Amino acid sequence: MDIRVSGHQVDTGDALKAHVSERLNAVADKYFSRALSAQVTFGKGPHDYGFRCDIVAHVMQGVILKGSATGQDAHPAFEGAADRIETQLRRYKRRLKDRAVMQQAAANADLMTLNGDAGYTVFDAVEGEEDIAENPLIIAETRVDVPDASVSDAVMMLDLRNTNALLFKNSGTGAYNMVYRRDDGTIGWVEPQRAAS
| Same domain assignment for residues 97 and 117 | no
More confident residue, 119 or 13: 13
The answer to whether the beta carbons of residues 53 and 25 sit under 8 Å apart is no
Domain range for 172 is: 113-190
Residue that is last in its domain, among 79, 103, 127: 103
108 assigned to some structural domain:
no
Domain edge (last residue) among 53, 79, 103 = 103
41 DSSP β-pair partners: 6, 54
Identify whether residues 92 and 146 lie together within a single domain.
no
Q: Would you say residue 74 has pLDDT above 70? A: yes
Q: Let me know whether 86 and 121 are in one domain.
A: no
Highest averaged pLDDT of the listed ranges 31-45, 75-89, 128-142: 75-89
Identify whether residues 118 and 145 lie together within a single domain.
Answer: yes
Rounded to the nearest integer, the mean pLDDT of the chain is 78
CA gap 8, 156 in Å, rounded: 30
Mean pLDDT of 145-151: 89
Name 138's bridge partners: 122
* Number of helices (H), then strands (E), in the chain: 4, 10
Give the CATH number for residue 16.
3.30.160.100
Same domain membership, residue 60 and residue 20:
yes
Q: Which of 162, 61, 155 lies closest to 102, judged by CA?
A: 61
Distance CA 163, CA 141 (A): 16
pLDDT of 79 strictly over 90: yes
Distance, first Cα to last Cα, the chain: 51
pLDDT recorded at residue 181: 92
Q: For the segment 90-128, what is each residue's pLDDT rounded down to a tens digit?
A: 887 777 777 666 655 555 344 333 334 444 444 444 454
Tell me: pLDDT of 80 over 90: yes
Residue 170 lies in a domain: yes
Query: What confidence tens digit (pLDDT) does each residue in 19-33 have?
Result: 999 998 888 888 776
Cross-strand partners of 67: 55
What pLDDT score was predicted for residue 12?
Answer: 86
At residue 197, the pLDDT reads 58
